[in-house]
Structure 1
Amino acid sequence: MKKYSIPKKSLILVAVLISLLITLSLVSNALQNGYDLFQKALAKERGEGNLEEAISLYQKVVKEATDESLAAKAQLRIGICYEKLGRKEAQKAFQKVIDNYPSQTDTVKVAKEKLSILIKAQTIIKKGDTEFRIRKVWDYARMGGRGNMGRPSPDGRYLLYWDMGSNNVCALEFASKKKHFITKEAVLSASKDPSSKKPIEFHWGGSIWSPDTKKVAYSWLKFKNVFALKDAWDEEGNFKDSFKELRITGFDGSNTRILYSDDNLEEVNPLDWSQDGRHILAALISKDKIRQLVTISVAEGSVRVLKTFDTLTRGDGFEIGELFSPDGRHVVFDSQQENFSNRDIFLLSPDGNYEVALVEHAADDFVLGWTLDEKSLIFASDRTGTASIWVIRVSGGRPYGDPVLIKKDMGSFWPKGFDKKGSFYYAHETMVSDVYIAEIDSKTREILSKPKKASEHFVGSAMHPDWSPDGKYLAYISYPEYEQDALNPKSVIFIRSIDKGKEREIYIELRNIWGTCWSHDGRFILTVGSEKEGREGFYQIDVKTGNFTSILQFNKGDTVGAPVWSRDGKKIFCIYKHPEQKIARIMMFDLASEEKKEIHRDNFQCYYMAGRPFFPQDLVLSPDGQFLAFNVRERETRESILKIIPSFGGEATEVVRWEKGKIIMTADWTPDGKDLLFAESKFQRGYKFNFWKISVEGGEPQKLGLQMDRVYVLRINPDGQRIAFRAGQRIKEIYAMDNFLPVENRKSKGGQK
């Protein structure tokens, strides 16, 4: 038998090819391992707030990564983590980005900006002064939303807040983590004994400290003939048969007295207490919707009106807004000007006759407080592109010189105030949110697979999933820079191919986009958002080009939910509320005729994100386009209800009513239109949501065997074999920032602001 031999050159070529394949495989694995490690570090930093462990993981990425771009980003994150911790190592970390990765121009640019701020800060902090630091003082997730948090006490020991369980005023002691009841007289239901029947009353509104921390002023809501909390609201969402009082009490609840009361008041909120203890600055809102800024005498309760505003409420999450000047001779306030979207800061004389602009800029500016030397106003502004802290000198009731940047890139924060040492307290919320995909049985709808993240891009910031009409693509939104810029987050729409596993990014020059809805032909995505200086409206985004077109604009102050396209693309449905309306509506907008039609009105609850009001409730159209499904929380019973209504209008039908203490957040139709899948949770810390199925005809709901954290926006693939949903956790914390002001502003003269 003739033997064949392989030529030596061929053997060498095969060996080279095998070696090359092995090398490429190793490189590919190394790249993937480095990327996975980077995502774990991001999860530690943003999701858990464990900065020390995140730094350790980022350092490992820098050491092992073969991709220079990834290594540079990891080194930048190391600097950002150290900056959050208030550590000196931040400067060295940013310098390493500049020195070691000069070709990574975008990352280097960010590092240079941050390094410049740190160097400037060093030049104004003298040797021997206490070092700058940020410290977490409380995890407030267990005490409700940031709006329930009040001011820190002047001595820095306590934080006022509204206790959600009892509806009383409480003070949290930072050191012991104990709560002290300032009030105990809230009545939420009438006594069973008819002879002692008493109308309900409770704390509702703001609360502030006296300059010596010995007293608290707070809002109190009283009812005349309402004996149960479930009966407190009328059909328009107003408190019925009620009035507000402004009260003062001792820290121990003693010597309580009514300072001011008026049957015509809808709101009376204390804003600040003058340094001499003689006056309280307050906001009054009458039942005919007139908002006034007033001072109230602590001794006798007499009122002086300083200014009447066109805007009823602030609605931006920055709860300070109005303050006395340190000498008590003036009042500062921030206000959104008529016909302009930006907010500026003004100074007002005690008699209200003299008003001057302290800070005017195309950006949004918010009052925070006064420096301890009483010479400068501290304010927040997004003029650098992100929310940062600035100071401006004030002399003789006028601005002196230009504002000075003090702390850049504060991220998403909600100010609470200053103590007498100059420490700044603020609330910080991070929503760690990802989009997940799970396989389901097309007939029983039972969950067949463990949910997997749709993508590892921008971990912790994905939301609003929606399937394309053919089920081949999944669109979702990400806000990759929300933590750095809550006032103007950058938006990215991802289009993911389910079969190929590839993603395409569409960067949108719109602010705060909310919701994704594919057109029936799969060419466009509908969303709500606003252009840089424009009003909010509906925008149509071309899936191929990324170009967007405005198709409907709303008036200033309107609140809208995520839009839904009709099957023919000629109409848009959404949850909508005008500023003068208490009850929100489901509206239909005809794009051709420009007709607006009210479909239904119900108790849709409004929330805020980055200062923007929105409706988080789902509004989903049935596969045949004939019905809309939505969820509400009934005001009287506090029960969550899943309803359906004809898309052309008519009576709403209850599909399922969930017991008090539980909440339904999202639902979607099965492809055959016979069932609804929904997610519900108990009102509890963490919000563990369970998935259910129920027939649109009603009956008993069936549990699907899946539980996830905080589920929003559930969507079923048109093939009925997959679901996509947003899930995650909300991290809620209160921080104190010490020694962040220039030395000349930190010299105390005994002031408290």
Structure 2
Amino acid sequence: MKAKRFYSIAIFLMITLVFTGFQNQQDHKVLFEKAKYTMETKANLKEAINLFESLIKTYPNEKEYVAKSLLYQGMCYEKLGNQEAVKKYQTLVNNFPGQKNEVTLAKERLSRLVIAEKELETPLEPKFTKIKMPTNPGNGVLSPDGKRLAFIYDGCVWTIPVSGGIDQNIAGEPKRITDNIGAWDMSNSFCWSGNGKWIAVNAKTNEHKSPDMPIYVVPSEDGKPQKVQVTSHMCGWPSEYRLSLSPDGKTLAYTTGYKPGDWQKKFTHIYTVPVNGGEEKVLTEEGTQEPAFSPDGSMIAYVKCLKDNIVNYYYSNIWVIPSNGGTAVKVTNFQSGQAFGPVWSADGKMIAFLRRPEWQNPKEVWIAPITDKGNPSAPAQKIDLPLESFHALAGWTPDNKIGIQLMNPEYEIIYTVPVSGGIATQITPQGWKSYPKWSPDGKKIFFRGDRGKIAYVPADGGTIDSIPIRSEFDIFGALPGSGNEISPDGKTIVFSGGKIFYENSERKWDVNIYTIPVEGGNPTQLTQVAVELQDRFPCWSPDGNTIAFIRPEIIDKEFFMHIYTISKGGENLKKITDKSDEVSWAPIDWSPDGKYITFFTKNNTIQSIPAEGGESVLITRVDSVNSQFDLSWSPVGKELAYTDQGKIWVYSPESGKTREVKTGVDARATKIGWSPDGEKIAFTAFSGGNAEFWQMENFLPKEETAISQD
């Protein structure tokens, strides 16, 4: 009996010890993930440092996780500009030789930090000058001699003298060199040939283009555009569409390889092809983009993307390869952030590029000296920009000026204004506030706040409060189309939520429809759609039982939008539109009687369709359609408010007339929400965010300037 009892106690103690060991193992992993989430998603670096330190002290025997924690602490300190980063990396290198991946990264970061401490003997203050243009196109690439700027506007290719007759910093008379060929640009993806005689551009045939885009080469003076025959020019992100022409204009370098359905991965390669027809040649491996011919045409600089084996973010570096193919040379050695938009100096001895550090917007230009074989001849030097830049660099002139598209500061503010018009009342401070929606009692206005949080403010203005979202995942209001609309009973918010998750150690995110109590808590996911599709622009039916939203589908590599409805509990999913309805990627709204759903179309109209599906009917026509626009029926359904051309308009179906709602605000109106009593409209006013052309000079040491002008 005693033996049996002893055996039972022994088994109990063994189970307890095993469970305790398992629990301890789980505890250190949970603490590590919490610290990493605090660092990557919350961007609270100081709090993350403390959490990693807690893991190091509490679980000193967990060498793998202690090493990772030291690496992450170093990265946090590095972001904060704190020399403590050197100590953390050195501790990792000295004490954890068995953790090879972490030690390798620490050594690379240590090397870079040591180099960064070395200052130029003759530091210069770069000079930045804005070139004023009567019509700012928001894009532009310099001719090789630096005297003209090519830009894309309204589907046409234009050129303009950088300096006009009035002032050297005021551009001259623009010249249109093509008709509307569908020329398209979002990040300075077009280019000049080195002899200045040709310009290569991407084109599109409709608003919602296929990822496979045609390429044209255009004479820079006048002439007929020539379509370059390529098997495919299919890319994902705008920067991947960047083109480059050889100095004589006879060879085109371009990128292709995007796979529909895998937009989070990098499949692209760089190809070259004769402009007048011939065999295409693959030049680089997978994950490469943004080619740029050297001035003599012998080499091509490009961007290569890799995935950090620790953080699972894409980072990128600048490489160089012979233009006829061969062995590629790595010019930079960043372990985080994105390098992009490389351009060559006129003598071919340096490459300039932009860099976007992790968790930050791009405000850095780097200059990398290279040999005639493309090898780095000295460490790259950083130049801080006064403003952010998301475009590729516009070019490097023979007199050492670099063209840059800099973004003027942007912000969003929520206002209210009487429906009859007047002077608006500001209810939120300057920042990032959008999608204003009133509570049914008219006392509060809910909106999407900073970092995708759902927040609210008293309708007359006051203290802003956020709604807590409790989840094991990081869930945030997606843009565009977060929604944040309150149910008719005032108890529940519906929103389009982005969710970050990991799959096979790969960081991913999807977008689906969620609801959450107005006081916050655990969100309920109503839809589950493939990562590449995403559900957005949700809104409640007037009876609060149904939610309508927009979901895309892919047909023959093209995206088509559809309106779906689903019950508030997540059942009875139904598609109510088809391809012929031409639904646009923009907000929708129910009619107050719940019989119709109103939407923007790709044909620049506003239409309504029966909530059960059927034939849509025209409401009114608009000047243009954009995902940042909005529409909202008045509470009794007699008028429809919408935004277009940066203004608020109200259409009366009864009279067939449209009037502008004057606000007195010098900013572009985007998102709107009608008050429950029908007396006011809350709206988001957006200002800034325009790319303007600047030139940077005086950025090289005197000895390098002299060499480059030989």
TM-score, with length taken from structure 2: 0.63
**Paired position in structure 1 for 2:130:** 136
With over 3 angstroms needed to count, the CA separation of the structure-2 counterparts of 1:422 and 1:559, relative to structure 1, is farther
Answer yes or no: is the 8 Å Cα contact 2:131–2:171 preserved in 1. Answer: no
For 1:308-353, what per-residue CA distance to the aligned partner results, in whole angstroms no more than 9, with x for missing partners? 9999xx9xxxxx9322356733441345879976353464554567
- Give the alignment of 1:99-114 within 5 angstroms: none
With over 3 angstroms needed to count, the CA separation of the structure-2 counterparts of 1:466 and 1:368, relative to structure 1, is farther
Of the three residues 680, 697, 701, the one matched with 1:722 is 680
CA distance in 1, matches of 2:709, 2:305: 29
Answer yes or no: is the 8 Å Cα contact 2:448–2:484 preserved in 1. Answer: no
Matched, 1:154 2:144: yes
Answer yes or no: is the 8 Å Cα contact 2:233–2:255 preserved in 1. Answer: no
Secondary structure of 2:662's partner? strand
With over 3 angstroms needed to count, the CA separation of the structure-2 counterparts of 1:747 and 1:564, relative to structure 1, is farther
Answer yes or no: is the 8 Å Cα contact 2:356–2:363 preserved in 1. Answer: yes
**Paired position in structure 2 for 1:518:** 485
CA distance in 2, matches of 1:426, 1:383: 21
**Paired position in structure 2 for 1:11:** none
CA distance in 2, matches of 1:726, 1:581: 31
Greater Cα offset, 492-501 or 420-429: 492-501
How far has the Cα of 1:161 moved from its partner? 0.7
CA distance in 2, matches of 1:259, 1:215: 13
CA distance in 2, matches of 1:356, 1:554: 41
Matched, 1:496 2:475: no
Secondary structure of 2:508's partner? coil
- Any gaps of 5 or more consecutive residues in structure 2? 1-78, 84-111, 236-240, 262-266, 502-506
How far has the Cα of 1:162 moved from its partner? 2.0
* Counterpart code for 1:414: H
- Any gaps of 5 or more consecutive residues in structure 1? 1-108, 189-200, 223-231, 315-319, 441-445, 480-489, 606-614, 635-639, 682-686
Matched, 1:333 2:303: yes
**Paired position in structure 2 for 1:181:** 175
**Paired position in structure 1 for 2:668:** 710
* Counterpart code for 1:426: Q
**Paired position in structure 2 for 1:6:** none
**Paired position in structure 2 for 1:700:** 656
* Counterpart code for 1:574: I
With over 3 angstroms needed to count, the CA separation of the structure-2 counterparts of 1:577 and 1:378, relative to structure 1, is same
Of the three residues 424, 444, 448, the one matched with 1:477 is 448
* Counterpart code for 2:253: L
* Counterpart code for 1:672: V
Matched, 1:171 2:160: yes
CA distance in 1, matches of 2:500, 2:530: 14
CA distance in 2, matches of 1:544, 1:744: 64
Answer yes or no: is the 8 Å Cα contact 2:356–2:362 preserved in 1. Answer: yes
- Give the alignment of 1:534-549 within 5 angstroms: 534-538=508-512, 539-540=514-515, 543-545=518-520
CA distance in 2, matches of 1:598, 1:744: 68
CA distance in 2, matches of 1:556, 1:343: 21
Of the three residues 391, 406, 417, the one matched with 1:438 is 417
**Paired position in structure 2 for 1:587:** 564
Matched, 1:618 2:587: yes
CA distance in 2, matches of 1:110, 1:542: 37
CA distance in 2, matches of 1:725, 1:506: 20
Answer yes or no: is the 8 Å Cα contact 2:591–2:598 preserved in 1. Answer: yes
Answer yes or no: is the 8 Å Cα contact 1:170–1:180 preserved in 2. Answer: yes
Of the three residues 534, 558, 576, the one matched with 2:552 is 576
With over 3 angstroms needed to count, the CA separation of the structure-2 counterparts of 1:266 and 1:706, relative to structure 1, is same
With over 3 angstroms needed to count, the CA separation of the structure-2 counterparts of 1:643 and 1:385, relative to structure 1, is same
With over 3 angstroms needed to count, the CA separation of the structure-2 counterparts of 1:345 and 1:516, relative to structure 1, is same
With over 3 angstroms needed to count, the CA separation of the structure-2 counterparts of 1:710 and 1:719, relative to structure 1, is same
Aligned alpha-carbon RMSD (Å): 5.1
- Give the alignment of 1:83-482 within 5 angstroms: 124-127=119-122, 131-139=125-133, 142-144=135-137, 146=138, 149-164=139-154, 167-174=156-163, 175=168, 176-181=170-175, 183-184=177-178, 186=179, 203=183, 207-212=190-195, 214-219=196-201, 246-249=216-219, 251-253=220-222, 256=223, 261-262=228-229, 271-274=243-246, 279-283=251-255, 293-297=270-274, 302-306=278-282, 321-324=290-293, 328-335=298-305, 342=314, 344-345=316-317, 347=319, 350=323, 361=335, 363-370=337-344, 374=349, 378-383=353-358, 385-389=360-364, 390=366, 405-407=382-384, 410-411=387-388, 413-420=390-397, 421-440=400-419, 446-447=420-421, 450-455=423-428, 457=429, 459=430, 461-479=432-450
Answer yes or no: is the 8 Å Cα contact 1:585–1:599 preserved in 2. Answer: yes
For 1:426-464, what per-residue CA distance to the aligned partner results, in whole angstroms no more than 9, with x for missing partners? 241544432111244xxxxx44x5321112x2x154321
Answer yes or no: is the 8 Å Cα contact 1:599–1:648 preserved in 2. Answer: no
CA distance in 2, matches of 1:666, 1:278: 46
How far has the Cα of 1:547 moved from its partner? 6.5
* Counterpart code for 2:613: G
CA distance in 2, matches of 1:359, 1:652: 56
* Counterpart code for 2:357: D
How far has the Cα of 1:470 moved from its partner? 3.0
Answer yes or no: is the 8 Å Cα contact 1:203–1:218 preserved in 2. Answer: no
* Counterpart code for 2:575: K
CA distance in 2, matches of 1:308, 1:671: 58
For 1:229-250, what per-residue CA distance to the aligned partner results, in whole angstroms no more than 9, with x for missing partners? xxx769x8679xx99564352x
* Counterpart code for 2:659: K
Matched, 1:737 2:696: yes
Answer yes or no: is the 8 Å Cα contact 1:434–1:726 preserved in 2. Answer: yes
**Paired position in structure 1 for 2:498:** 529
Of the three residues 634, 640, 648, the one matched with 1:670 is 634
Answer yes or no: is the 8 Å Cα contact 1:678–1:691 preserved in 2. Answer: yes
**Paired position in structure 2 for 1:16:** none
TM-score, with length taken from structure 1: 0.60
How far has the Cα of 1:495 moved from its partner? 1.0
**Paired position in structure 2 for 1:599:** 577
Please identify which structure carries the higher strand content: 1
Of the three residues 611, 621, 634, the one matched with 1:657 is 621
With over 3 angstroms needed to count, the CA separation of the structure-2 counterparts of 1:577 and 1:363, relative to structure 1, is farther
For 1:637-673, what per-residue CA distance to the aligned partner results, in whole angstroms no more than 9, with x for missing partners? xxx3221122332221112234799999432122223
* Counterpart code for 1:715: G
The aligned length equals 555
**Paired position in structure 2 for 1:631:** 600
CA distance in 1, matches of 2:539, 2:337: 32
Answer yes or no: is the 8 Å Cα contact 1:406–1:741 preserved in 2. Answer: no
Query: How many percent of aligned residue pairs carry the same amino acid?
Result: 18
CA distance in 2, matches of 1:584, 1:500: 36
CA distance in 2, matches of 1:137, 1:121: 32
CA distance in 1, matches of 2:525, 2:461: 32
Answer yes or no: is the 8 Å Cα contact 2:387–2:406 preserved in 1. Answer: no
How far has the Cα of 1:526 moved from its partner? 1.6
With over 3 angstroms needed to count, the CA separation of the structure-2 counterparts of 1:399 and 1:365, relative to structure 1, is same
For 1:667-706, what per-residue CA distance to the aligned partner results, in whole angstroms no more than 9, with x for missing partners? 212222343233444xxxxx4x2532323xx541253653
